[in-house]
Amino acid sequence: MNYARIAGTGSYLPEKILTNADLEQLIDTTADWIVERTGVEERHIAAPDETTCDLAERASRRALDAAGLDPGDIDLIILGTTTPDHIFPSVATQLQHRLGCYGGPAFDVQAVCTGFVYAMDIANRFIRTQAAKRALVVGADTFTRIINWKDRGTCILFGDGAGAVVLEAAEEPGIIDSRLGADGRYKELLWVPAGVSSGYEQTRQDAAFVEMRGSEVFKVAVTTLKEIAEQILIANRMTVADVDWVIPHQANRRILAATAKRLGLPEERMVDCVRTHGNTSAASVPLALDVAVRDGRIQRGDTLLLEGFGGGFTWGAVLAKY
């Protein structure tokens, strides 16, 4: 039987760093208040001429190097993003062109902050059914391009970045299981009101930015992340004690802490990059995964639980042996 295993990881953060002290000069806030409310101390901001595809390419090349593979070895590219370079073509096809690995399927997935987890689930199914041998799975966002820098409820949270994983066919897992979900009833709790087919040319300018009802998002996120973790573990006759590392969506520090508490998980077994990354949307899970792989925390044979939660609302989890 075919399984999909993680052959390599990579990530990239833009050079520019925006600190909480910098934000004190832009909006009515303090560095201490931001840390208390979110846990974020700094975030990376893409340069004006830096696109989502630029970030994705850098992360992808690092993942390929880690896997010891060339771009030509890849026969599938799936990229999670909410901030594509263009309405079309997809970022995935542009990334394919830059890497020079033509011919195989390449497409974007739009599930906001859950985009990478959705992409992992899809790539796993391609490999399990032998429709692909090696997949490049990417989460990348220049999310600060859709942030209102006068809205302190959102601008303190988000940053830009990209993370990538190479999956390859293997005789043993690899990915043990994956679960996805969504509920469109919650769309206005976290959304961008502007759209292409909903009065695009008449939309007020401020509607092109993220709007969020923070306290309501917090409640749903914590409940959902706990439930999806429990569901996937129970389905595989496992408990939290069997998991070496939980790599959650890096929404904010309070959500991570509350989720760990509800799961009965020691916080030291949860990978937390919120302080230096902020919320990088679809990039947050693969970024955190790559950081923990490269600093030696995650070792071959470890059991990992990756979790995503995003606007829509969307959510998902991937249970895997590294």
- The catalytic residue positions are 113, 249, 279
Q: What is the 3-state secondary structure (H, E, C) of the chain?
A: CCEEEEEEEEEECCCEEEEHHHHHCCCCCCHHHHHHHHCCCEEEECCCCCCHHHHHHHHHHHHHHHHCCCHHHCCEEEEECCCCCCCCCCHHHHHHHHHCCCCCCEEEECCHHHHHHHHHHHHHHHHHCCCCCEEEEEEEECHHHHCCCCCHHHHCCECCEEEEEEEEEECCCCEEEEEEEECHHHHHHEECCCCCCCCHHHCCHHHHCCEECHHHHHHHHHHHHHHHHHHHHHHCCCCHHHCCEEEECCCCHHHHHHHHHHHCCCHHHECCCHHHHCECHHHHHHHHHHHHHHCCCCCCCCEEEEEEEECCCEEEEEEEEC
